[in-house]
Chains A and B, each alone.
Chain A
Amino acid sequence: MNRIRRALLAALVICIARPRAALAAWNKDAFGAKTAGDALKSLGIGNAAPSKEVTIDAPEIAENGAVVPIEITSNVPGTTALIVVIDNNPFPLIARFDFKENALPFVKVNVKMGETSDVRVIAEAGGKHYVATREVKVTIGGCGG
């Protein structure tokens, strides 16, 4: 009886919690932060150690800041999340990817850059943080096509 009740209750909780959890999962404070430091603080990231195990593949020069391709990977064992920060963007936090056991800590995506800036990628593994930094220069062009 008790077990059934508990199971029902659990199901109910899941039903209610699920859509809300999906919405709440977007970290408003972190994404609304105006500096990289504040954004990382909101994500609970303090000191991140520079690491060669975190890699950022990005062009050194992007002709168009509206589309800057980046490819990020972590070879730190047990990486569970990758966080992307672009220091000079008005809202520096770009993305947080959480990986479950069947996913490799790898993402390729196009991002917007307002100006030349450092791109930082932080890997989370076993409660510790590791960081890689890479500068991408943004230029403009002529009249196009």
Chain B
Amino acid sequence: MAGPMKMRATLGQGFTEVRVLMTHPMETGQRKDSDGKLVPMHFIQNLTVKLNGKTVVDAQISQAVSRNPVFSFRLKGGAKGDKIEVAWLDNQGDSNSTESAVA
């Protein structure tokens, strides 16, 4: 039930900028819903960025990353058409990934 993800990888000056947006509630487990009940913790824990199939960034994150996370990473060099893949896994076992080519 993972919502949409969106990614853009563009050539910058000497590096490739990867900007990725994910739909995720990033619930801290401390927020109460309208009925006053605590909303259970639900957040992305692992995030990986792959360049042409090889992991280049491996991240562990906490519930303190804002809702609907937006990350930017920079990869060395890079060329048009290089394949970038970003995947995440949350504490409830949900996951999602997206792929795009450097433009």
Contact = CB atoms under 8 A, between A and B. Distances in A.
Direct contact of A and B (CB under 8 A): yes
Contact of A100 (B30, B55, B64, B70): B55
A31 B44 CA distance: 13
Interface of B: 15, 26, 28, 30, 45-46, 49, 51, 54-67, 69-77, 89, 91
Q: Which 7 pairs of residues, A with B, have the shortest CB-CB distance? A: A108-B72, A110-B66, A104-B74, A103-B56, A26-B45, A98-B58, A95-B61
Contacts of A108: 70-72
Interface string A66-100: 11100100000000000000100111011111111
B70 A31 contact: no
Provide the main secondary structure of the chain B interface.
strand
Chain A contact residues (Cβ within 8 angstroms of B): what range?
Answer: 20 to 34
B75 A112 contact: no
A23 B93 CA distance: 9
A2 interface: no
A22 interface: yes
A27 interface: yes
A102 B60 contact: no
Nearest to A108: B72
B64 A112 contact: yes
A91 B65 contact: no
A16 interface: no
Contacts of A111: 64-66
